[in-house]
Amino acid sequence: MDEKGRNGIGRRGFLRASVAAGGAFVAGTSAARAQAQAPDPLITEVQPWAQGWGDGVDASPYGMPIRFEADVVRRNVGWLTADVISSINFTPIHALDGTITPQGCAFERHHSGAIELSKPDYRLMINGMVDTPLVFTYEDLERFPRVTRTYFLECAANTGMEWAGSQLNGSQFTHGMIHNMEYTGVTLRTLLEEAGIKPEGKWIYVEGADASSNGRSIPLEKALDDCLVAFKANGEALRKEHGYPVRLCVPGWEGNMWVKWLRRIEVTDAPVESREETSKYTDTLENGISRKFTWVMDAKSVVTNPSPQAPITHGTGPLVITGLAWSGRGAIARVDVSVDGGKTWKEARLAAPGQDMAITRFYFDHVWDGSEMLLQSRATDSTGYVQPTKTQLRAVRGVNSVYHNNCIQTWWVKPNGEAENVEVS
């Protein structure tokens, strides 16, 4: 167990530090010790659950969360889209910890609904500028050399409502168009090389089997680099709403390109300029000109606790501030936290060294004095890029965009522990 954090403090060193924090814990709240002295029927009496049988193993061939966690679910926002079929279900990031997003509550977005497509009905075609057009069955895909990698998927529209001003009150809604899963599949490179790319092939166009087809163009360089034709997520088959049986992974690039129910890959000499990369998924600047092909998700972070859906309920003293950070350009190198709206910053602890294009969990152990906080986090990635403020981002991009808002988020934590989405200048 020799893992060391980015600041060079080993586990033992950190834990020595935590003993000091523990002292503060007792001084700050005295909760634990007080309870040890006052009679508490929960510890002085034998409770019902210690007196009889619980559930047998036949109760849960496939288990679900316990009923007490019924609030930890994906949620949609009625007014955000015209209907629930072409819509978005946000990950409850305010209620999760660690880095893995369980499939059951992982962000979903589809343009014509989640379709049901069986493995026997599945086909993947590769055509266009290739030596040999190919059609693969699901079973064919399982026979190619396989890889397993953990990646985040972030929708380009994540945090999009923040361009105009602070809108949505909760990290689930401001930053929940994201998930982070361990994918297993075949590299796209393997399949493209199986077909053989003709010299004039410079792009691919990928589309799904659903009615929207959601076609997108991807430069061949990216397609041959790290894209994955995935059939498992977090060990098991993809869920229906995540593209069962096969989806594309385009690590670090906007989620719309991670085509679900992947049906066809056409090798082309130029981008197709599809709806999804012209009228949508482009970013209109202040002067009315739109940026297009803005594929990469820049470094970003958000404090998930405390936050509007996860207020402080325990009063002053020790407070674990935690959140998520990620970058489409590499690994997270560092996260800083500010409690005063960005005037001063302190380095947070990363739960593990950052991994390329995967979510990193950060922790910041704070002793809260009960005064208001303007809570922020700021990610730095392995390229040296630092997450910008909203002011910096607007100075460059204006406020007309929907997509690619990676600015620093501010939660105003009030003396009563509640939090609100606010802007600081």
Residues 340-369 touching a second copy, rule: CB under 8 A, are 349, 351-352, 356, 361, 363, 365
Tell me how far the alpha carbon of residue 266 is from its chain's centroid. Answer: 29
d(C-alpha 218, C-alpha 271), whole Å:
7
- Write the burial class of residue 238 (CB in 10 Å: 0-12 exposed, 13-18 middle, 19+ buried): buried
Q: Could you say which of 4, 13, 18, 416 contacts a second copy (CB under 8 A)?
A: 18
Amino acid identity, position 337: V
Residue from 87, 75, 247, 236 nearest 153 by CA? 247
Say whether residue 50 binds a second copy (CB under 8 A). Answer: yes
* CA–CA distance, 99 with 318 (Å, rounded to integer): 23
> CA–CA separation, 304 vs 324, rounded Å?
7
List the one residue from 89, 159, 401, 405 that touches a second copy (CB under 8 A).
89
Cβ proximity of 216 and 176 under 8 Å: no
Which of 8, 64, 199, 287 binds a second copy (CB under 8 A)? It is 64
- Asked if residue 210 binds a second copy (CB under 8 A), the reply is yes
Q: Is 317 in the site for a second copy (CB under 8 A)?
A: yes
Figure out which of the listed residues 6, 169, 202, 237 binds a second copy, where binding follows CB under 8 A.
Answer: 237
Residues 133-172 close enough to bind a second copy by CB under 8 A: 133-137, 139-140, 142-149
In whole angstroms, how close is the CB of 369 to a second copy at the nearest point? 15
**How far is Cα 149 from Cα 186, in angstroms, rounded to an integer?**
11
Can the peptide bond before residue 245 be classed as cis, meaning omega within 30 degrees of 0?
yes
Task: Give the integer Cα–Cα distance in Å for 72 and 307.
Answer: 15
Q: How far is the CB of 373 from a second copy (least distance, A)?
A: 16
* Cβ 299 to a second copy shortest distance, Å: 17
**Residues in Cβ contact with 36 at an 8 Å cutoff, skipping those fewer than 6 apart:** none
Closer residue to a second copy, CB minimum distance, 40 or 286: 40
- Give min distance, CB of 417 to a second copy, in A: 12
Please report whether residue 96 would count as binding a second copy according to CB under 8 A. yes
Please identify, among the stretches 110-118, 157-165, 289-297, 392-400, the one whose residues bind a second copy according to the rule CB under 8 A.
Answer: 110-118
| Minimum distance of a second copy from residue 289's CB (angstroms) | 33
Residue type, position 44, single letter: T
Kindly state the smallest distance separating residue 396's Cβ from a second copy, in Å: 28
The answer to whether residue 15 forms part of the interface with a second copy (CB under 8 A) is yes
234 binds a second copy (CB under 8 A): yes
| SS3 state at 395 | helix
Residues 252-291 that bind a second copy (CB under 8 A): 261
